[in-house]
Amino acid sequence: LIKSLPLLSCKTSLSFGKGLGVRSFNYFKTHHIMKFFFSCDWGTSTFRLRLVDAENIKVLSEIKTRHGIAIAFESWKQTNQQEKTRLAFYQTYLFEQVKKITVPFNDAVKDAPIILSGMASSSIGMIELPYKEIPFPCKGSGLVIYIIPADEDHRHKMIMISGARTDVDVIRGEETMLAGCKISEDDSEQLFIFPGTHSKHIIVKNGLVKNITTYMTGELFDLLSNKSILSASVKKDDPEPTGSNRFFIDGVLKGRASILSNSIFHVRTNHLFKKTTPGENYDYLSGLLIGHELKDVSANKPPSITLVCSEGLKKSYTQALNVLELASQVNYENADEALINGQWIITQQLGYL
């Protein structure tokens, strides 16, 4: 399953500019040997591609689209082609995006490998790879890696990192972000929380992943606020996540202590009885679902909690953990930075870069 190829490097003399709607970062010109790689996070609903200077893990250019794996898979199915065509179909889209973000860099990055994490290795992805079973080292040395060599049509080698599983749960992508986080290798238990559509809680001890638990917090919020009887009672007023008002706090406390299916219905009755506005219900429902997700965390009180997420989700989850009197244990890692660091660490230590 695992293939290995010689290490790649290239001389660089970079030029910079904007092209095709891609965001380019200001960067100093260099004239020495330097490695680059493309960091690809192909999720269910979102595609992200970044060109990274591996010498100092600096993002040089990036692109983000809504062409997630779910859309890619449906598009491929509509072609009615045989299974053997699936990889090439996905590669067409991937390399179109690579071309877009490399326009300002000429040939300096022509041989840079592409490291893929997330749903690209799932049953609806480019190639389905098996999950790594727990326990395994947090830095990813035991993960399943698959190499797609460069060829005449696709000059960038592709390195795919697969996910991990327990008997009842799975992750794809979070195992890579975890490898990019600061992790203690002593015998103290650490909890890493990855908020999102499907929030993942990963327990680490002695440098090993010991357990994985998924909470469908984000998806439940979307379904309840947009597609249920509650939709008329919930409206986002503030363009930024709130997480600091009394309605959010009330939701967190009730989510921890009450029966969720009953508390959810109070979103509707509070609006019917004019106790809350739809905007206040938005905060209440958010707090309710996050509080319920953190119910076991509140009961177990792990000595170390690390949030790995965006700044927006950090705001809500930090506030919720503060309400649950766990703020002193909380650390933070930016999810984008953790992903890129993790991709570099995993592939470098295994000799693929």
The residue assigned the tokens 């933070």 is 332
pLDDT score, position 103 = 86
Of the candidates 53, 49, 56, the one whose C-alpha atom is nearest the C-alpha of residue 23 is: 49
CB 189 within 8 A of CB 309: no
Report the 3 state secondary structure along 180-222. CCCCCCCCCCEEEEECCCCEEEEEEECCEEEEEEEECHHHHHH
Length of the chain: 353
Beta strands, E only, 30-107: 33-34, 36-42, 47-53, 58-65
Q: Which two tokens stand for residue 32?
A: 């020495």
CB 307 within 8 A of CB 327: no
CB 69 within 8 A of CB 43: yes
Report the 3 state secondary structure along 241-284. CCCCCHHHHHHHHHHHHCCHHHHHHHHHHHHHCCCCCHHHHHHH
Cis upstream peptide for 135 (omega within 30°)? yes
pLDDT score, position 26 = 41
First to last CA, the chain: 18
pLDDT score, position 153 = 81
Task: Give Cβ neighbours of residue 193 (< 8 Å, ≥ 6 apart).
Answer: 199, 200, 201, 297, 305, 306, 307, 308, 309, 317
Q: How many helices (H) and strands (E) does the chain have?
A: 10, 18
pLDDT score, position 353 = 66
| pTM greater than 0.95 (yes/no) | no
Residue-by-residue DSSP string for 54-76: TTTTEEEEEEEES--HHHHHHHH
Residue 339 pairs with which residues in a beta bridge?
none
pLDDT score, position 290 = 98
Q: What is the pLDDT along the chain (353 residues), one digit of tens a residue?
A: 333 323 333 332 222 333 333 444 444 344 344 489 999 999 999 999 999 998 889 999 999 999 999 999 999 999 999 999 999 999 999 999 999 999 888 778 888 999 999 999 999 999 999 999 999 999 998 899 999 999 888 889 999 999 999 999 999 999 999 999 999 888 889 999 999 999 999 999 999 999 999 999 999 999 999 999 999 999 987 655 444 589 999 999 999 998 999 999 999 999 999 999 999 999 999 999 999 999 999 999 999 999 999 998 999 999 999 999 999 999 999 999 999 999 999 998 877 66
**Structure-derived torsion over alpha carbons of residues 226, 232, 238, 243, reported in degrees to the nearest 10:** -80
